[in-house]
């Protein structure tokens, strides 16, 4: 099927199988490999991207759901030279170890802050409860999100 | 020091934060084939025939591989060093399949989708065999002929010291029983590797997030009959390991397929494949009998443990053996008798897990100590203080000094910070639905292999014309910041910026030999070779400066990146790097090694408070304190983060995590059935580091990555038993288990 949607503010028109997973479209068709697959069943959150301002597991979204949607991946969030405050805070607060959960974690946090820039600590914990980190005890991650909140920053 | 002891973001933190860090699953090589594995659907069977005709009709399929068209040679997934005696029981594709998830066949195709599609069309006829899913069934003889070596592997008894029960009439004998579940590592990066075979040079290249490139090279070389110098194993960015990537499960398969196809081959396991077919922590049962004097002094320990090896023996014989070594790391044990065995079952293969038997031994012992303390009417901390090692005590199993072991200080400072005595008082005479309990547990571990051999390392440093530095050392960073830690140490030794240092990870073609990242040896052992090398490089700097400036070397000193001549600045590291090449024609270059000859005590003493819901059996961890005898924290913030991660992993193991095997032998390979502690459930985990530098550690450092996991499950078990006045040592302590126990007890003391 032909599907038209935007990825990181770029218009995309792709001819893909209707049940192709968004994560595979991103990684295989668009070479956006910052999105990681950790479970393929929506349990670990490492493949989280933002779809129309909401965090979704890209392993659970398929091509036929993408028409007209706006997708943001970690690549669309920022670069080292022009980072999102969340990326800076994750680096500075030592919220990154093995890094395999990191991009999904940042995208979940970003979706929360778009909706609720003043999110409380409990809101942050709820928003990130679908993202597993096996290296840390989450403290640094929560600190990073709070630091990013304080520094304000751009919105999508 | 500019870096050591500070909080340093990992070297590749920005790459990871922006999604540009490259893991092996992200790598693509031109002309690459993709493998899709076909796993045994039965717990015990043989492959009778394979019909691949339909699969081969699919365009893009390169080949189908199985026991009838691949060599019968066998390997052991755990073999760590050259010449090691192990049981070689696994083929690349097995004919005799030992568990659901055993490798039966694989399809190679131009892309992953085609390979998967074709794999579904391969028709395999199996002959089912009787199977055993637990130790008891195996011991009844159901699968006696599964291997020529049999199904039960008895480990020789370990006995230290002398003891006669009757000599001490007052002695208190305490018997406890422990049962541990099968655990999955759940690194967020699942297993994946790429192998490439270059026909022109007959070279095999394997890209993999492994814990030991050199160990893996011996396995690949011997299995595929390729000389070691023609094999290049490259360690890639690792998305966590916790032990599961120190065993060779995917690499022999991918490497073999690459040699056959003469093309690059990628083998990538999804979460289910990873959970059912790679490595898990063995289910273990154990009985401990302690003999303790009324004043709390331990006189003897008798331990009897059985390790469920799963479908192949793998590391389980050694795992059972090594568990016996872990009882003498915290306390003076004048007598130890340890018996163990590994038993084959038709379940996923057991293997290395963070702490390599220390957490398992600790759970058994610490639960027993608490049970004994209750009998003796002693405080849980007091009984531990009575037996804990003093500085310079000797580990009597290996006859090696524990040096400046700080376990007593950990216990004492932890008692104060945690307000143990106040909390203990608050826990007495409780009534009502929710009961609070507190616990303490000591976890001890090692710093490297010593006194075992091959615990050495080598580092080479060279500087460039612009004053930047290249370091060759075989590091295997698990994602906990090993490379960052080494850059920090080198930068401080040489007085340069860490940004000016290049360290790539282990690569058998370029970096020096090293055993690998096991046994908490990286910082402690390899770090020393780095420090030795920095010292040698500084000698070289002074020698070159003396030549260039025609000064007496005896007048020259080096500090913070500057060469001084009788106290006056002569030149800098940057200038001397350039001038060495341009003027001296002798690049600043040094190689140094280090042979480890020490193994000080290293400990984590953890304290926890839990709340038990006596209506539902649900346990909540409300407070946690981890006190660590760490010597010196090189990257303090990351050490804390690592400890907190280990605490979560241990809480999960104590209360939630279990890899469940169904009655038909299939394994629940899904995170829907395997609950990992998430950010909503994690308690506030307080950390207290005792930094008393140890003599032989680089900058005084001791190990941390494994020891922080060692006492966690034990402390939770002790706290739950304290809350409910029970004697449970079966993990995970699920609500079902708790309610069953409470019902069996006929309710709670004090009433509801």
Mutation target vs A (from B17, B191, B686; most A CBs, 10 A cutoff):
B17
Tens digit of pLDDT for each residue in B326-379? 999 999 999 999 999 999 999 999 999 999 999 999 999 999 999 999 999 999
The nearest alpha carbon in chain A to B484 belongs to: A97
B13 in contact with chain A, both atoms CB, cutoff 8 A? yes
Per-residue pLDDT for B165 more than 80? no
Structure tokens, B70: 């691949």
Q: Is residue B123 scored above 70 in pLDDT? A: yes
Asked whether the predicted pLDDT for residue B752 surpasses 60, the reply is no
Average pLDDT of the segment spanning A53-75: 98
How many residue contacts between A and B have a Cβ separation below 8 Å? Answer: 180
Which pLDDT belongs to residue B168? Answer: 82
Could you tell me the CA-to-CA distances from B682 to A44, A92, B636, B679 in Å, in that order? 16, 22, 21, 5
Cα–Cα distance for residue pair B629/A34, rounded to 1 Å: 38
| Chain A residues close to B14, C-beta within 8 Å | 80, 87, 91
Question: What is the SS3 assignment for B181?
Answer: coil
Residues 14-73, chain A, touching B (beta carbon < 8 A): 27, 32-41, 43-44, 46, 73
pLDDT, one tens digit per residue, over B730-749 is 999 999 999 999 999 876 65
Burial label for B552, CB within 10 Å (0-12, 13-18, 19+), is exposed
Strand partners, B300: B291
For the stretch B375-420, pLDDT in tens is: 999 999 999 999 999 999 999 999 999 999 999 999 999 999 999 9
**Per-residue confidence at A153, pLDDT binned at 50, 70, 90?**
low
For residue B321, pLDDT over 60 is answered with yes
Cβ count near B396 (within 10 Å): 15
The secondary structure of residue B230, as a DSSP letter, is G
Place of tokens 């398929």: A62
| DSSP symbols for B309-353 | EESS-TTHHHHHHHHGGGGGSSB--S-EEEEEEEEE-SSSPB---
Average pLDDT over residues A37-49: 98
| Residues A114/A115/A118/A119 CA torsion (nearest 10 deg) | -110
| Mean pLDDT on A78-97 | 97
Does A133 contact B679 at a Cβ distance shorter than 8 Å?
Answer: yes
Q: Which two tokens stand for residue B393?
A: 């005590």
pLDDT of A105: 98
User: Averaged over A109-137, what is the pLDDT?
Assistant: 97
Mapped onto helix, strand or coil, the DSSP state of residue B221 is helix
Confidence (pLDDT) at B745: 82
Residues of B in Cβ contact (< 8 Å) with A125: 679-680
Q: Which residues of A touch B238 (CB under 8 A)?
A: 98
Helix (H, G, I), strand (E, B) or coil at B59: coil
In SS3 terms, A35-84 reads as CCCCCCCCCCCCCEEEECCEEEECCCCEHHHCCCCEEECHHHHCCCCCCC
Q: Minimal Cα–Cα distance from A74 to chain B, Å? A: 6
For residues B294-322, b (16+ Cβ closer than 10 Å) or e, as one string? eebbbbbbbbbbbbbbbbbbbbbbbbbbb
Please compute the mean of the pLDDT values over residues B171-196 and round it to a whole number: 98
**pLDDT tens profile B433-482:** 999 999 999 999 999 999 988 899 999 999 999 999 999 999 999 999 99
Helix (H) or strand (E) segment spanning residue A22: helix A22-24
pLDDT surpassing 50 at residue B595: yes
Burial class, B401, CB count within 10 angstroms (exposed 0-12 / middle 13-18 / buried 19+): middle
Q: Kindly tell me the number of DSSP H helices and DSSP E strands found in chain A.
A: 6, 5
Mean pLDDT of chain A: 96
pLDDT recorded at residue B751: 52
Q: What is the pLDDT of residues B674-724, one digit of tens each?
A: 999 999 999 999 999 999 999 999 999 999 999 999 999 999 999 999 999
Q: Are B359 and B443 in contact (CB under 8 A)?
A: yes
> Average of pLDDT values for A89-97?
98
Q: Helix (H, G, I), strand (E, B), or coil: what is residue B374?
A: helix
Cα torsion angle, B13, B15, B18, B20, sign? negative
Best residue in A50, A87, A119, A137 to probe B by mutation, most B CBs within 10 Å? A137
- What is the least distance, in Å, from the CA of A83 to any CA of chain B? 8
What mean pLDDT is reported for chain B?
A: 97
Shortest alpha-carbon distance between residue B110 and chain A (Å): 13
Q: Give per-residue pLDDT as tens, A2-33.
A: 999 999 999 999 999 999 999 999 999 999 99
At B547 the three-state DSSP class reads: helix
Name the residue among B316, B303, B325 with its Cα closest to residue B345.
B316
A103 in contact with chain B, both atoms CB, cutoff 8 A: yes
Confidence of residue A156 (pLDDT cuts 50, 70, 90): very low
- What's the pLDDT at A86? 98
The DSSP-derived string for A101-123 is THHHHHHHHHHHHHH-TT--HHH
Provide the pLDDT for residue B749: 54
Beta strand pairing status for B265-268 and B192-198?
antiparallel
Residue-wise over B141-167: b if at least 16 C-beta within 10 A, else e? ebbeebbeeebbbebeebebeebeeee
Close Cβ partners of B5 (under 8 Å, ≥ 6 residues apart) = B632, B633, B634, B636, B699
The position carrying tokens 């500087």 is B463
CB-CB contact of B715 with B439 (8 Å): yes
DSSP A28: I
Question: What is the per-residue pLDDT for B338?
Answer: 98
> Quick check: B750 pLDDT over 80?
no
Return the closest-CA partner of residue B221 out of B234, B211, B233: B233
Q: Cα separation of A138 and A132, whole Å?
A: 9
Taking an 8 Å cut-off on Cβ atoms, the answer to whether A98 and B638 are in contact is no
Min Cα–Cα distance to chain B from A4, Å: 23
From B433's Cα to the closest Cα of chain A, the distance in A is 26
Q: Residue B24 pLDDT > 60, yes or no? A: yes
For the cut 90, the answer to whether the pLDDT of residue A155 exceeds it is no
CA distance A113 to B595: 52
């Amino acid at each position: 099927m032909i599907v038209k949607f935007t990825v990181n503010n770029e218009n995309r028109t792709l001819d893909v199988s209707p049940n192709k997973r968004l994560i595979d479209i991103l990684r295989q068709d668009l070479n956006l490999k910052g999105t990681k697959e950790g479970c393929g069943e929506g349990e670990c959150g490492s493949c989280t991207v933002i779809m129309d301002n909401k965090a979704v597991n890209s392993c659970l979204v398929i091509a036929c759901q993408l028409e007209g949607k706006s997708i943001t991946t970690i690549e669309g969030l920022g670069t080292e030279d022009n980072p999102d405050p969340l990326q800076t805070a994750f680096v500075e607060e030592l919220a990154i170890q093995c890094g395999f959960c990191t991009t999904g974690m940042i995208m979940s946090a970003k979706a929360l802050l778009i909706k609720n820039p003043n999110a409380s600590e409990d809101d942050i914990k709820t928003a990130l409860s679908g993202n597993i980190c096996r290296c840390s005890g989450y403290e640094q991650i929560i600190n990073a999100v709070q630091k990013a909140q304080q520094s304000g920053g751009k919105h999508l | 020091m500019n870096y050591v002891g500070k909080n340093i973001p990992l070297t590749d933190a920005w790459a990871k934060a922006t999604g540009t860090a490259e893991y092996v699953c992200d790598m693509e090589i031109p002309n690459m084939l993709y493998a899709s594995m076909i796993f045994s659907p039965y717990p015990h069977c043989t492959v009778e025939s394979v019909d691949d005709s339909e699969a081969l009709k699919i365009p893009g399929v390169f080949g189908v591989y199985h026991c009838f068209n691949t060599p019968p040679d066998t390997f052991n997934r755990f073999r760590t060093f050259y010449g090691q005696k192990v049981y070689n029981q696994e083929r690349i594709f097995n004919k005799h399949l030992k568990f659901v998830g055993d490798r039966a066949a694989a399809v190679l195709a131009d892309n992953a989708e085609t390979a998967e599609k074709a794999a579904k069309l391969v028709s395999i006829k199996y002959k089912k065999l009787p199977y055993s899913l637990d130790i008891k069934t195996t011991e009844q003889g159901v699968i006696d002929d599964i291997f020529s070596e049999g199904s039960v592997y008895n480990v020789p008894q370990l006995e230290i010291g002398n003891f006669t029960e009757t000599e001490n009439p007052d002695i208190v004998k305490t018997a406890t029983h422990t049962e541990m579940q099968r655990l999955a590592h759940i690194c967020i990066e699942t297993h994946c590797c790429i192998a490439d075979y270059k026909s022109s040079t007959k070279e095999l290249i394997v890209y993999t997030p492994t814990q030991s490139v050199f160990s893996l090279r011996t396995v690949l070389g011997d299995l595929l009959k390729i000389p070691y110098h023609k094999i290049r194993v490259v360690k890639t960015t690792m998305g966590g390991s916790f032990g599961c990537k120190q065993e060779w499960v995917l690499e022999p398969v991918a490497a073999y397929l690459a040699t056959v196809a003469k093309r690059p081959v990628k083998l990538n396991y999804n979460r289910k494949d990873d959970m059912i077919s790679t490595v898990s922590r063995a289910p273990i049962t154990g009985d401990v009998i302690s003999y303790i004097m009324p004043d709390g002094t331990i006189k003897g320990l008798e331990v009897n443990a059985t390790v469920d090896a799963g479908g192949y023996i793998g590391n389980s014989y050694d795992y059972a053996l090594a568990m016996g070594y872990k009882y003498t790391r915290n306390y003076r044990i004048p007598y130890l008798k340890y018996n163990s065995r590994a038993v084959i079952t038709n379940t996923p293969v057991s293997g290395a897990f963070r702490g390599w038997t220390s957490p398992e031994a600790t759970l058994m012992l610490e639960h027993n100590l608490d049970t004994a303390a209750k009998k003796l009417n002693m405080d849980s901390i007091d009984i531990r203080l009575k037996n804990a090692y003093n500085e310079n005590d000797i580990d009597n199993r290996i006859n090696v000094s524990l040096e400046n072991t700080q376990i007593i200080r950990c216990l004492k400072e932890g008692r104060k910070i945690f307000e143990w005595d106040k909390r203990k008082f608050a826990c007495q005479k409780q009534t009502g639905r929710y009961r609070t309990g507190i616990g303490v547990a000591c976890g001890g571990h090692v710093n490297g292999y010593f006194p075992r051999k091959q615990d050495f390392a080598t580092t080479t440093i060279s500087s460039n014309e612009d004053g930047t530095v290249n370091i060759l050392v075989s590091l295997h960073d698990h994602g906990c910041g090993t490379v960052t830690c080494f850059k920090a140490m080198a930068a401080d030794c040489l007085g340069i910026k860490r940004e000016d240092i290049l360290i790539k990870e282990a690569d058998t073609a370029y970096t020096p030999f090293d055993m690998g990242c096991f046994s908490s040896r990286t910082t402690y052992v390899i770090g020393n070779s780095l420090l030795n090398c920095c010292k040698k490089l500084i000698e070289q700097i002074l020698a070159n400066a003396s030549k260039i400036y025609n000064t007496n070397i005896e007048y020259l000193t080096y500090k913070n990146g500057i060469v001084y001549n009788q106290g006056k600045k002569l030149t800098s590291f940057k200038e001397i790097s350039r001038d060495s090449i341009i003027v001296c024609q002798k690049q600043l270059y040094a190689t140094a090694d280090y042979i480890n000859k020490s193994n000080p005590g290293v400990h984590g003493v953890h304290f926890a408070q839990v709340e038990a819901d006596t209506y539902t059996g649900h346990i909540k961890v409300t407070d946690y304190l981890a006190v660590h005898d760490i010597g010196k924290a090189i990257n303090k913030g990351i050490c804390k983060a690592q400890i907190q991660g280990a605490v979560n992993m241990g809480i999960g193991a104590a209360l939630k995590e279990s890899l469940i095997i169904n009655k038909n032998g299939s394994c629940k390979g899904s995170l829907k059935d395997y609950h990992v502690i998430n950010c909503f459930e994690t308690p506030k985990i307080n950390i207290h580091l005792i930094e008393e530098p140890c003599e032989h550690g680089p900058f005084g450092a001791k190990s941390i990555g494994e020891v922080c996991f060692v006492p966690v499950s034990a402390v939770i078990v002790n706290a739950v038993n304290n809350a409910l006045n029970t004697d449970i040592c079966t993990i995970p302590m699920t609500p079902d288990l708790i309610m069953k126990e409470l019902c069996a007890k006929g309710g709670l003391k004090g009433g509801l």
